[in-house]
């Protein structure tokens, strides 16, 4: 009997006269092959439509490339007079990401326990919480930061608040998925011993899933450091304020200096996060 999900073969693999296996021939007129060809054409057509909607124009890139090189040349030599101010902004950027990630992690863990299907105390109430968490995850940090700027004013605090809200959505989602993958036997054994839900989570679930949770938080910290470099564009503190000012004034020397600082900062954070992940996971 032919499996409709597998391309039809005219014959089964057999040995030839020389003893080697003969590959089966593919029936290009079978329904399965036609369905796959049609799917490929639809995907290709959708991608072409995306190219058109995105207004992809390689010719415009080629025409503008010499201008880009000219602007890059204007960035040399780097501007070093305000290096102390730029360094302070970089430290402020790391502080925003660190505070936002820690606060989001502490908030996300109980929410993840509530959402994970294998440990949730209320499957019914977890649905609206899941919807709220998905909303936090769907809206970008910059949008939340802009909203908090209108509420608490300009400065890094607005960036911290915006980062917390978005990070809660992302970390909760990843935490819940990690919790759902742990074996059920330890949880069932702890429940049969008479342990309460708090003890089950603390002594049966947490030791099994802690390395995964730590890895998620460290990755989110790296991501938030990169994101926080642009929060200053909306007035939410960090080195993004200086980057926006340099772009507005077409000050390419400052822009080059700030770009190098961002590159060094992100590289150091990535290496530190990788070292911590090796120690914890």
What CA–CA distances, in Å, run from 272 to 34, 78, 196, 266?
A: 51, 27, 38, 10
Are 181 and 239 in a shared domain?
yes
Q: Residue 254: inside a domain, yes or no? A: yes
14-58 pLDDT per residue, tens: 666 666 666 666 666 778 778 888 999 999 999 999 988 988 888
pLDDT at position 50 is 93
CA atoms within 13 A on the CB side of 271: 6
User: How far apart are the C-alpha atoms of 268 and 90, rounded to whole Å?
Assistant: 12
Residue with tokens 């938030």: 224
Count of residues for the chain? Answer: 281
Are 26 and 118 in a shared domain?
no
Q: Beta strands of the chain (E only): which ranges?
A: 14-15, 21-22
Work out how many domains the chain is built from and give that number: 2
Residue with tokens 């990755």: 219
Residue 176 has pLDDT above 60, yes or no: yes
CA 78 from centroid of its chain's CA atoms: 32
Are 90 and 50 in a shared domain?
no
* Model confidence band, residue 188 (pLDDT cutoffs 50, 70, 90): low
Owning domain of residue 210: 81-280
3-class secondary structure per residue, 54-97: CCCCHHHHHHHHHHHHHHHHHCCCCCCCCHHHHHHHHHHHHHHH
On whether the CB atoms of residues 190 and 118 are closer than 8 A, the answer is: no
Are 157 and 107 in a shared domain?
yes
Tell me the angle at which helices 206-228 and 252-280 cross, rounded to the nearest 10 degrees. 170
Residue with tokens 């509420």: 151
Are 45 and 169 in a shared domain?
no
103-117, 229-243, 253-267 — which is least confidently predicted? Answer: 229-243
14 in helix, strand or coil?
strand
Residue 8 has pLDDT above 60, yes or no: no
Q: Residue 9: inside a domain, yes or no? A: no
pLDDT at position 23 is 66
Are 126 and 161 in a shared domain?
yes
Are 44 and 87 in a shared domain?
no
Assigned token pair, 254: 């400052």
How many CB atoms within 10 Å of residue 11? 8
pLDDT at position 89 is 87
Q: What is the mean pLDDT of residues 269-279?
A: 80
Are 116 and 244 in a shared domain?
yes
Are 175 and 40 in a shared domain?
no
Residue 1 has pLDDT above 50, yes or no: no
The bridge status of strand 14-15 relative to strand 21-22 is antiparallel
User: How far apart are the C-alpha atoms of 233 and 43, rounded to whole Å?
Assistant: 37
Q: Residue 69: inside a domain, yes or no? A: no
Mean pLDDT of the chain: 80
User: How far apart are the C-alpha atoms of 254 and 168, rounded to whole Å?
Assistant: 34
Assigned token pair, 72: 């890059």
pLDDT at position 249 is 82
Are 161 and 206 in a shared domain?
yes
Q: Which residues partner with 26 through β-bridges?
A: 9
Are 218 and 252 in a shared domain?
yes
CATH number (domain holding residue 147):
1.10.3720.10
120-162 pLDDT per residue, tens: 777 777 788 888 888 888 888 888 888 888 888 888 888 889 8
Which residues, 6+ apart, have CB-to-CB distance to 203 below 8 Å?
190, 195
57-92 pLDDT per residue, tens: 888 888 888 887 877 787 788 777 878 888 888 888
Residue 9 has pLDDT above 50, yes or no: no
């Amino acid at each position: 009997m032919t499996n409709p999900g597998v391309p039809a073969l005219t014959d089964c693999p057999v040995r030839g006269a020389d003893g080697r296996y003969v590959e089966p021939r593919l029936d290009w007129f079978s329904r399965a092959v036609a369905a796959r060809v049609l799917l490929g054409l639809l995907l290709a057509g959708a991608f072409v439509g995306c190219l058109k909607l995105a207004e992809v124009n390689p010719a415009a890139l080629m025409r503008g490339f010499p201008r880009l090189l000219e602007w890059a040349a204007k960035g040399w030599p780097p501007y070093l007079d305000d290096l102390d101010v730029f360094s302070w902004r970089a430290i402020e950027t790391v502080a925003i990401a660190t505070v936002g990630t820690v606060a989001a992690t502490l908030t996300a863990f109980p929410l993840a326990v509530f959402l994970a299907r294998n440990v949730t105390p209320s499957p019914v109430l977890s649905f609206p919480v899941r919807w709220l968490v998905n909303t936090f995850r769907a809206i970008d940090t910059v949008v939340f930061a802009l909203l908090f700027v209108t509420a608490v004013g300009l400065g890094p605090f607005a960036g911290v608040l915006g980062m917390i809200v978005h990070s809660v959505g992302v970390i909760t989602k990843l935490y819940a998925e990690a919790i759902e993958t742990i074996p059920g036997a330890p949880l069932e054994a702890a429940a049969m011993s008479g342990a309460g839900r708090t003890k089950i989570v603390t002594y049966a679930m947490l030791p099994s899933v802690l390395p995964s949770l730590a890895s998620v938080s460290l990755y989110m910290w790296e991501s938030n450091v990169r994101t926080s470099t642009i929060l200053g564009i909306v007035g939410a503190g960090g080195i993004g304020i200086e980057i926006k000012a340099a772009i507005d004034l077409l000050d390419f020397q400052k822009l080059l200096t700030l770009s190098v600082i961002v590159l060094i900062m992100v590289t150091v954070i990535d290496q530190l996060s990788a070292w911590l992940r090796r120690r914890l996971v």
